[in-house]
């Protein structure tokens, strides 16, 4: 438990120190936190963390390699508290990606998950049975509208197979 407090403190301090880099990155593209966390090194937790900017793509990677956690996570805000909370949830495996792209697995009530991700659901059409089939969804986010097609795997699990901006 004490080690978790040290890890959280180290992550927050590093995120806070990178605030200006994140703000600068937001001007040119999508900033990503790229790092390696070794929770149990000899001197306590060790965190290497940098900001990398992609011009028009967003990528999430989380790899566990022995005692090390390697990660890359996009950020859309420079608020250190918000970034810390998103990063901690991501590292703990308790996050749903806010960025929907083909291959994204969504669990729960589809309409609610989309609304929590900032989408306004305009229309839904279910094709198939209770535990299989497809769901077509028309949503808006800001000024943009999207047509999404989800494959229904179980009653509460969906995979985004196609997303088209209209």
Encode pLDDT of 69-119 as tens digits: 899 988 888 899 999 988 988 887 765 555 677 778 888 889 988 988 888
Between 30 and 147, the higher pLDDT residue: 147
Distances (CA, A) of 47 to 33, 76, 90: 12, 21, 15
**Is residue 109 within 8 Å of 129, Cβ to Cβ?**
no
In this predicted model, what pLDDT tens digit does every residue of 14-57 receive, in sequence order?
Answer: 999 999 999 999 888 889 999 999 887 677 788 999 999 988 77
Three-state DSSP class for residue 66:
coil
CB 140 within 8 A of CB 132: no
Fill in the DSSP letter of residue 9.
H
Q: Is 124 exposed, middle or buried (0-12, 13-18, 19+ CB in 10 A)?
A: middle
Q: What is the pLDDT of residues 47-68, one digit of tens each?
A: 999 999 988 777 788 888 888 8
Q: Please, where in the chain does CATH 3.10.450 lie?
A: 104-165
CATH class of 104-165: alpha beta
Please give the Cα distance from 24 to 81 (Å, whole number): 18
What is the average per-residue pLDDT within 4-23?
A: 92
Contacts 24+ apart (CB under 8 A), 113-117: 114/139
pLDDT score for 1: 46
Find out whether 138 and 146 touch, Cβ atoms under 8 Å.
yes
The whole-number pLDDT of residue 94 equals 64
């Amino acid at each position: 438990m004490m080690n978790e407090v040290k890890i959280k403190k180290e992550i927050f301090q590093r995120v806070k120190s990178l605030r200006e880099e994140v703000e600068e990155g937001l001007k040119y593209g999508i900033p990503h936190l790229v790092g390696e966390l070794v929770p149990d090194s000899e001197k306590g937790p060790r965190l290497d963390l940098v900001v990398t900017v992609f011009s028009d793509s967003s990528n999430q990677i989380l790899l566990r390699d022995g005692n090390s956690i390697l990660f890359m996570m996009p950020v859309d805000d420079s608020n250190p508290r918000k970034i810390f909370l998103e990063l901690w949830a991501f590292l703990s495996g308790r996050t749903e990606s806010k960025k929907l792209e083909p291959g994204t697995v969504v669990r729960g009530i589809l309409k609610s998950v989309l609304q929590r991700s900032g989408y306004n659901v305009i229309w839904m059409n279910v094709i198939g049975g209770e535990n299989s089939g497809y769901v077509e969804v028309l949503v808006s986010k800001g000024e943009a509208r999207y047509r999404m097609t989800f494959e229904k795997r179980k009653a509460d699990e969906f995979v985004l197979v196609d997303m088209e901006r209209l």
